[in-house]
Structure 1
Amino acid sequence: MRFLNFPFLVYENILKHLEPSELLLFSFCSLKTRALVSKMRHASTYTIFILDKPEKMSYGFVEKPEKEQILLSWTWKKIAMESENLDNWTQLKLKDVHLDCRVTFHGKLNIPTLLCRCEDVPTRKRFATALHSHMCEVFHVKPEMQFKLSLDYMNELPDTNTVRDVTFLKSSVNSTVADEFFEKFHVTRALFSKRCVPDRLLKDSYKFLEIKNLFVSWSSWLDISLLLKVKCENLVVQCSTLHKKDMIDFLNNWLEGNNTRLKAVSVFRSVANDAHLIMDNFNLEAWDPKVDKIKYDEPVRDYCEGLFCFMCDINKYMLRSGILRRKSDGTRALVRATYEQLHFLVLKN
């Protein structure tokens, strides 16, 4: 490869103009190209595995949810190599995994796709694991993985014990499989369940209640009995069927000293016109926005940026607000009610 004979400053200048996906392919070429890419400055970020279709996986950078930058995809549909021109195929060597594949590019997005021969599941899992290890060593990405998947394809996931964030997509399985997922993978930060996820996936699952941050787009199955069992720090639910009495019971449960981990809860499209009736049940202290400022944890800001942006204009949207004080430890929580919404936030001072 004549490129490697150039002076260091020459190929350094060339490499810095390549796209991340191009750098990744270049790093596959040899140990020397891998070392060259590794010497570059790379922004420290997280990566994500996406499994939303059968026989296909994608991998990319992710700084904020739903804004991932795909670096590479690979598919393992059965291919008869004998009918193809073998000159178009290569053997990709990554750690202890050797894959016969052909590189194609996805249309306008120009995303490289590895067209692989049909391999067994263990080989595909080892490849995904080796790819992430390669990214950690060469691109200096953070080691904790993130997943975005349909649980129909859970068996294809790389080998790991911990996952930072996971996004559930539409699937045909039930809560038993969901609990198997939570048994196998310890989710350290957040679970995001998209609107397309069917009720049966989380309705009868109890493992997910212990995840630190829960963001559920469609939660018609979430009743007060489940809500009182939640052990998370932050919970945001949309399209729920929780009613006035449920929200009163929830706030009383917190006042009684339960769920001391809780930091914030937001319920959308639920309480309808009952905001005043809910607030009338409590002795609320006046809230001064200049003294007690609203500040959510990073996961809430990441996943709910669009939902909370309108709350900046308090005077326009707020119906009632006030501060609850828990007698057992003096902890204070801000409760805000708008049309069809209730927002609960434990204050930090």
Structure 2
Amino acid sequence: MTKIRTIAFVLPQFHPIPENDAWWGKGFTEWTNVAKAQPLFSDHYQPHLPTDLGFYDLRLEQARNAQAAIAKEHGIEGFCYYHYWFNGKRLLDYPIDEMLRLQKPDMPFMLCWANENWTRRWDGLENEILIKQEYSLDDDKEHMRWLCEKVFSDPRYIRVNNCPVFMIYRHDLFPDINKTTDIWREIAQKEFGYKDLYLTVTESFNNQVDPKSISFDAAVEFAPHTVIRNKYESNAKASFLDKITGKKQKKLDLRDFSKGVKASKERLIPSYKLYRCVTPSWDNTARKKEKGIIAVGSCPELYQDWLEFMVKSFEPYSKEENFIFINAMNEWAEGNHLEPCIKYGNAYLEATKKALNSN
């Protein structure tokens, strides 16, 4: 039986950077939104507060090592770090640069280029652009040369048949994605001697595409977007804020987590290569307050059942094309994390370990 490699997405926005200082105030990190979150109805779990790892700072080697250690202890075999590149300018890059420099932690990893405009979505103002994502063939060349030289050469970098795995978040934003992939592959092969690249694309916003049609090797489900596609039918939950202020609040956007899990399980598997994905939960009201989306009904038991289903039903495409993704390790402000919290402790990590051992 071919072994499955479980990869968890990791958000690096847990350290201050000059840009965030300027845009949101000195010392802003993802924890800023997490700590000030408030419940919006009587049994609404907010704020999500960390326990075992604490309010860590990913500039610290000890924090990065502890994050990797707790993941490995529970069966996660690699991290997929979000990567932010804007025409040669990088954001939230310090943890990855230090990981590369120190060669620690001893954790396989890959990158997912979050190739959108940088906006004020962290506080709900998505239409206010702070750094625009502009595309050009010259930038495609510069980007791939940097990746090949600085990142793909790392011995921990995840590969398929000796080809570095690189993921993009939004293929639909490129002016000509096929030209871009041609350039990337040519540079990797001719200038740096790689056998090839193994390119994957997420199904963000449920945007499903045959990866071969855009010169990619495989698609990756984006489980949070699967979950939030399903509306929660009950309107019985009154706003917690109504009760303490007496003011009518905007109707909350509730989604049904269990329906999302059911839809994921019942999905017809396409003919192209698709890597499955699960998510622990979803609630981004820490960022967007009443404008956020809350997936009602998530719990460690349901998450474990979902992951077990994926583990038992997934048939790897080859010995090394064997990924299942978890989204995410630490999206705390989206209520989407495996890391231990004040309500569930390490139950989601334990559920991960049990599910991975179920096959």
TM-score under structure 2 length normalisation = 0.29
Higher Rg of the two aligned structures: 1
Higher relative contact order (Cα pairs below 8 Å, separated by 6+ residues):
2
